[in-house]
Each structure stands twice: as C-alpha cells, then as structure tokens.
Chains A and B, each alone.
Chain A
C-alpha cells in the first residue's frame, strides 16, 4: 500500500514564488555556513595539537619513570652485590676516611 496523498491545486503564480526568492538571504546563510565550517576546522586542529602535546608529555613522563625504576634497580643491585661479597658500602668507606683524617 502506497503512502501518498494526492491533492488537486491551482497553479502557484510567479508573483507568489517571487516573494520567496532572495539570493542575498541565501548568500548570508552560505557565509554563516562557511564561517562555522572554518571555526570547526580550526577547533579540530587546535584539539589535535593539544592531544599531541598531551601524548608527548605522557610518553616523556612514562620514559622518565622507567628510567628512575631502572636506576633504582641498579643501586639496589650494587648494594646487594657489595653486601654479599663483603665489600663495604661507599658511605662506610667515606665515614672511615673522615675518621682517619681526624
């Protein structure tokens, strides 16, 4: 079953149509559209740049933490190694050196 409604009507006069014809109004709408489009493009670019900066900062922070963890592990390993092999720690060595100097 079709969903159409058929009506009979009189011909619309050119004068009636002319009331709706307005090129300046159309151009104004088009200009608004162009301005909005440009604003949206600018906003998208700004958002992309912000996102990239955030991403860069996150990566740097992660790398820094990774480096710190690596350094921490190295110190712990040296201390453990010195202790196991009977070597005194650097702090002890400095302390003893000071005592001798006194």
Chain B
C-alpha cells in the first residue's frame, strides 16, 4: 500500500468522523476482504454476515477514537474483525474453525501440481490441526491475507519479532514434516 493511498484513507476517515456516510467508500473497498477473512474462521455464511456487519458497526462506533499508528487502516479493520470472531468463539465455547481453500494452500508451496495428491493434502490438514491457534492466525494473515509482519503484530497485539518467530517456527515444522519448499523466503 502506497503512502498516498494511506493518506487518502486517512482523509476519508477524518471526514467519516464528522459524517458517517463518508465511510461508505472504505466499506465498499474492504467488505469482500473482511468477509473472506471472517468466513475463513467460521465456514458459515450467515454467521460471517452477522460478524462482518458487527465488525463494520464497531468501526463506525469507534471511528472517533481512530488514530494513525503507522499501519494502514485495514490493519485496524482486521483487528476488529479478529476480535469479533474471538468474542463469538468465547461466547459459544466451540472449537475454532479454520476453513482454507485448497488453491491457497497449494499457492503456499513451490510444488509442482503433479506432486500433490489427496493423501498429501490430508496430511497437511492434520498438520494444521495440530498447530496452536496463535500460529494458525499468523499463517493465515501472512499467507492468505498478504499482511506484513508489522500489520500482523498490530492485528494480533503482539510484537513484530513475535509475529516473525511464530511464522518461521510454523513453517520450519512444515518443511521438516513434509520436505517441501515454501515461498516464505521471498516474502519479507
């Protein structure tokens, strides 16, 4: 995201503080991303609709308190969405769901398509299941949402080095278990 885009979003937010209708542009821009982000953690369309709507409502409620902290506005949006999802799981006391697209999982690895089979995917799913939630969250934000470590740290309320450590630990385990190359070397 360029500096100009960040400034443009900030200007919209300043306007939205006085007139909530001005927020519409950012709503249209980020709705799909936030919907997908929540859907990946719920695997339920109706529930995602509720949580997504709640997320944007929370944004509107707290827009007056928004301050630029060196990360794009979207990081704040993801943070609120993540909090809404966590709140839902705490309330329902259910197991947290991570629904991942096969295509995106394949994108993670520098692996020729013919090297993939059903068994490999099942093993990967089992591996993901054994990962702690915090590692899964970091992997999700890093590889499915393309967030940088600074944004991940802001969203999950951890330090930047903590976010890096969690990601690399999870990926190292993945490499050792599956003996495959992962595209994280190029994503700094």
- Measured CB to CB, the residues of A under 8 A from B are 2-12, 14, 16-17, 20-21, 23, 25-27, 29-30, 33
| CA of A27 to CA of B96, assembled, Å | 30
| CA of A25 to CA of B57, assembled, Å | 10
How many B residues, CB 8 Å from partner? 38
B61, A33: Cβ atoms closer than 8 Å: yes
**Between-chain CB contacts (< 8 Å), 22 pairs:** A2-B130, A2-B133, A3-B96, A4-B98, A4-B129, A5-B98, A6-B98, A6-B129, A8-B99, A8-B100, A8-B101, A8-B121, A9-B43, A9-B101, A17-B35, A20-B48, A20-B49, A20-B52, A21-B35, A26-B60, A27-B21, A29-B53
**B95 close to chain A: CB less than 8 A:** yes
A17, B61: Cβ atoms closer than 8 Å: no
**Selected contact of A9 from candidates B24, B52, B57, B100, CB within 8 Å:** B100
In chain B, positions 165-182 with a C-beta closer than 8 Å to chain A are none
Question: Which residues does chain A contribute within 8 Å of B131, judged by CB atoms?
Answer: 2, 4
A20, B57: Cβ atoms closer than 8 Å: no
Interchain Cβ contacts within 8 Å, total number: 87
Question: Which residues does chain B contribute within 8 Å of A29, judged by CB atoms?
Answer: 53, 57
Q: Nearest Cβ distance between residue B83 and chain A, in whole angstroms?
A: 18
Given known contacts A14-B32, A21-B31, A29-B57, is B100 in contact with A3 (CB within 8 Å)?
no
B60: nearest residue on chain A (CB-CB)?
A30
| CA of A4 to CA of B140, assembled, Å | 13
